[in-house]
Structure 1
Amino acid sequence: MNKKNASPFFTIIMPNYKTEAFLEEALDSVLNQTFTDYECILVNDGSPGVDI
């Protein structure tokens, strides 16, 4: 199977509600891992007035 079309090994789902102050640090933590066969989905869980 072509790696480009393969599904990731696992998915990280990060729900966010009023956590914009911590979002960059949390995402950096995921991106700095040595394992790279994943997808990361950020979800704005209804935070009022925040653009994520």
Structure 2
Amino acid sequence: MRNTLSGSDRNQTIRRTCEMWGVVKWIDQYGRRIKLVSDEAVQWILLDLIIDVRA
């Protein structure tokens, strides 16, 4: 998620982290993303945005 600041900080970006859980069902090595599936949702996540993985 990216939010752009206003005023003199207009060119800066705020990055927020979140926790997700699920099963990795697919790894797209060319698109550099993974497909994460949980009971509630299916989402594609870019590998470059992942900062921590726990088992």
Q: Same fold (TM over 0.5)?
A: no
- Decide which structure has greater helix share: 1
TM-score range relative to shorter protein? under 0.3
- Decide which structure has greater strand share: 2
Greater relative contact order, per chain length (Cα 8 Å cut-off, separation 6+): 1
